[in-house]
Amino acid sequence: MADITFKVFRFDPGTDSAPRFDTFVAPLFKKGLTVLEALFYIQEKLDGSLAFRASCREGVCGSCAMHINGKYRLACETQVSELGSDGVIVQPLGHLKVLRDLVVDMEPFFAKYKYIKPYLMPGSPSPEREWPQTVGEHAKVMPSIDCILCACCHASCTVTATDPDYLGPAALLWADRFARDSRDNSLDERLRLVDQLHGIWRCHTIFSCQEVCPKDLDPTGCIADLKRKAMKRKLFGH
């Protein structure tokens, strides 16, 4: 059974004067071992004080996003064997305050998500049973609805790094998702929320969000769609 070296970011702002990396050696104890399973091994067998987030362990909840060997990804979907033989370096999500070790404060990220009003605003009373949608109308909101709010895109974004108030790729992807929805009737309000100093125009179309998204979504394309809609509104009023 081969051994793998893990360098793991450690920091407790309450007691540590500076962050550090701790080195752990863990066995590759099963085929397909994921980074998340290795972190659980470290926590259970080597250092019970290691802090990280996880829940579903299958790429659904988005809570295990972290920086692994140079890229933001989900620890539960990253196999150690994919990462080469030089060991594994694990760090927390960027641009969010570290609460402890690999756990960051997600509040600012979710505050931006809440700000864009991530729910239907049809402007009319709900029908008795359901809002019907054609296949074509539904296709317009696909695949953005697969976003699991993991914040990999937010952490990889160079604009988020320099402007903490920038709404960021995930919130803007969701703003676009509702702006595209045939059941929604609040485009003016949605564009008002994102057509502002820290909104859509701050995106420099660098594509780093798209590159890291574990669900292969296209936040950059969604932001471009919002820019088009905002310009159309300004120029033609619709």
Query: Which stretches of the chain bind ligand FES, using CB under 6 A?
Result: 54-57, 59-64, 74, 76
Contact residues for ligand SF4 (CB under 6 A)? 147-153, 169-170, 173, 213-215, 217, 219
Task: Identify what 64 binds: ligand FES, ligand SF4, none; CB under 5 to 8 Å per kind.
Answer: ligand FES
When the beta carbons of 69 and 144 are compared against ligand SF4, the nearer one is 144
3-state secondary structure the chain: CCEEEEEEEECCCCCCCCCEEEEEEEECCCCCCEHHHHHHHHHHHHCCCCCCCCCCCCCCCCCCEEEECCEEEEHHHCEHHHHCCCCEEEECCCCCCEEECCEECCHHHHHHHHHCCCCCCCCCCCCCCCCCCCHHHHHHHCCHHHCCCCCHHHHHCHHHHHCCCCCHHHHHHHHHHHHCCCCCCCHHHHHHHHCCCCCHHHCCCCCHHHHHCCCCCCHHHHHHHHHHHHHHHHHHCC
Q: What are phi and psi of 137, to 5 degrees?
A: -65, -40
Q: To the nearest whole angstrom, how small is the minimum distance from the Cβ of residue 34 to ligand FES?
A: 9
- Closer residue to ligand SF4 in complex, CB, 47/211: 211
Query: Least Å distance between CB 100 and ligand FES?
Result: 18
- Residue 74 vs 116, nearer CB to ligand FES: 74
Residue 102 touches which member of ligand SF4, ligand FES, none, C-beta under 5-8 Å by kind: none
- Minimum CB separation from ligand FES for residue 131, in Å? 29
158: partner contacted, choices ligand FES, ligand SF4, none (Cβ within 5-8 A by kind): none
Binding partner of 151, given ligand SF4, ligand FES, none, CB within 5-8 angstroms per partner class = ligand SF4
198 binds, options ligand SF4, ligand FES, none, Cβ within 5 to 8 A by partner type: none
Smallest gap from Cβ 213 to ligand FES, in A, equals 13
Nearer to ligand FES, 78 or 183 (CB): 78
Instruction: Decide whether 60 or 111 has the Cβ nearer to ligand FES.
Output: 60
Burial class from Cβ neighbours inside 10 Å (0-12, 13-18, 19+) for residue 44 reads: exposed
Q: Rounded CA gap, 92 and 207, in Å? A: 21
Task: Indicate which of ligand SF4, ligand FES, none lies near residue 60 (CB less than 5 to 8 Å, by partner kind).
Answer: ligand FES
